[in-house]
Amino acid sequence: MFVDHVATSHLVGHLHTTATWLLQEAAGPQWDPISLWKQMGWVARTVVIILFIMSGWSFGVMIDRWMAFNAARKQSRAFAPAVAGALRDGKIDEAIKVAERNKRSHLAKVVTAGLMEFRAHQDSSDIPGETIEASKRALERTEAIVHAELKRGLGGLATIGSTAPFVGLFGTVMGILNAFKGISTEKATGEILLPEADIVVSGGRGMKGPEHWGILEELAKELHAATGCSKPVSDMNWRPHHEHVGQTGVKVAPQLYIAVGISGAIQHLAGVNSSKCIVVINKDPEAPFFKAADYGIVGDAFDVVPKLTAAIKAAK
């Protein structure tokens, strides 16, 4: 963490650099997978998890079938000439043993069933029709079992192939609806929704009263950010409760979180620990929030924030 102990005499010298950096952080949403995951709502995350599970299961089935087919083909190529040679010599028992040594071969499984039926009746000169039908049904059962083994998991692949597009379409529709909802809310109220904001400017008891919130709102306006607050602030009705950020309030995951006059209680940190970058402004150098911050400015908020806002305006 970088902490700058700011004094009024040299504050201006640092503000241009700080303002430029803040504007870069505010440039727009990040498109890397982690950032996208943090920006998703619970519906979007559910859709992603479902599609991920479907994809993982599909790849697993494909790998399993490929390994099974590869092993069966290899053993069938070895089995066919060996069993043919044994049958030419009239060695039925030897042919069955060859088949049993190649259990992964689907061809060997069917041939083994046929050889077993043949051996059972090879000494009989007159075989009843019922016995022939029973042997035929036994071979058909073996063939059906082999086919079922070959097609194992393919039904699931077909189901996934037919349902995955609809799951993806559902996620897309929900994303579009949420986007339009956020746009309409922002246009109607002029405010950015706190849970969806890429940048959040929050204030704590260090702001000393609701009458001083104007400097935070102005900073938020310049950064196109949402405003938040700590739990004590909402409990004292300085700010509306829907702006309360923390474990028992709104949990946020913005690209940039600016905490002004917030000491950094555990319940507040639990609501912001998914933020990509945290900047803390506090006049108390021992404030716990500095330990969780990526950058810190030790200074009076009523001195730092207005000048920072002015520097951001100048840097645009």
Locus of tokens 């849970």:
195
d(CA 253, CA 255): 7
Q: How large is the greatest C-alpha to C-alpha distance in the chain, in angstroms?
A: 116
Please list the residues that pair with 259 across neighbouring strands: 202, 280
Q: Of 70, 77, 26, which is closest to residue 224 (Cα–Cα)?
A: 26
Which own/partner pairs from 19-25 qualify as long-range (CB within 8 Å, at least 24 positions apart)?
19/308, 19/311, 19/312, 19/314, 19/315, 20/315, 22/223, 22/256, 22/258, 22/279, 22/308, 22/312, 23/223, 23/312, 23/315, 23/316, 25/199, 25/255, 25/256, 25/277
**Cα separations in angstroms, 297 against 69, 106, 152:** 64, 72, 62
Return the CATH number of the domain spanning residue range 2-28+198-315: 3.40.50.1220
The Cα 103–Cα 100 span in angstroms is 5
- The residue type at 120: A
Nearest residue to 282 via CA among 205, 196, 222: 205
Residuewise pLDDT in 10s, the chain (316 residues): 545 554 433 444 454 555 555 555 555 555 667 766 766 677 788 888 888 898 888 888 888 888 888 888 888 787 778 777 777 777 777 777 877 787 777 777 777 777 676 666 655 556 555 655 666 676 677 677 776 777 777 777 778 878 888 887 787 777 777 766 666 655 544 567 788 888 999 999 999 999 999 999 999 988 888 999 999 999 999 999 989 999 989 999 888 999 999 999 999 999 999 898 899 999 999 999 999 998 888 889 999 999 888 888 887 6
Tokens of 125: 């000169």
Say which residues have a Cβ less than 8 Å from residue 191's Cβ, sequence separation at least 6.
185, 226, 227
Q: Tell me how far apart the alpha carbons of residues 242 and 11 are, in angstroms, rounded to a whole number.
A: 33
Phi, psi of 278, deg, nearest 5? -120, 125
Q: For 2, which DSSP code? A: E
Type of residue at 94: E
